[in-house]
């Protein structure tokens, strides 16, 4: 299966989910290009962006696992460049 480049955007409103998020990201570390996390304490949320290069089914599974955590929302944006 061909790899896709994508960005996974994660909003975590439940700080107790951080360990689970990190565990899932560690599981998919071979596909991660880079990640950035910003704690926005004034609003009580963590904002995480994860750049990935992986088969689409792996990206979908990663986003689904993270998005099913309590207090967490995850959305994926795919590149249209299929090189």
Is 61 domain-assigned? yes
pLDDT of residue 61: 97
- Structurally, the chain folds into a number of domains equal to 1
Taking the whole predicted model, whether its pTM rises above 0.85 is answered as yes
Alpha carbon distance 50, 37 (integer Å) = 9
pLDDT of residue 83: 62
Burial class (CB in 10 A: 0-12, 13-18, 19+), 29: exposed
Q: What is the pLDDT of residues 27-80, one digit of tens each?
A: 999 999 999 999 999 999 999 999 999 999 999 999 999 999 999 999 999 998
Give the phi and the psi of residue 64 in degrees, each rounded to 5. -65, -45
pLDDT of residue 82: 63
Instruction: List the structure tokens of 9.
Output: 């955007």
Is 83 domain-assigned? no
State yes or no: pLDDT of 23 exceeds 80.
yes
Alpha carbon distance 48, 36 (integer Å) = 6
CATH number reported for the structural domain that contains residue 29 in this entry: 3.30.70.1150
Contact 32, 25 (CB under 8 A): yes
pLDDT of residue 53: 97
Find the domain containing 13 and state its range: 3-78
């Amino acid at each position: 299966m061909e790899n896709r480049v994508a960005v996974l955007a994660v909003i975590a409103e439940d700080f107790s989910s951080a360990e689970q998020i990190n565990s899932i990201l560690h599981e998919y570390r071979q596909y991660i290009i880079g990640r950035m996390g910003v704690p926005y304490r004034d609003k009580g949320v963590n904002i995480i962006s994860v750049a990935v290069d992986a088969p689409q089914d792996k990206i979908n599974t990663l986003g689904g696992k993270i998005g099913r955590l309590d207090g967490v929302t995850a959305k994926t944006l795919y590149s249209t460049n299929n090189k």
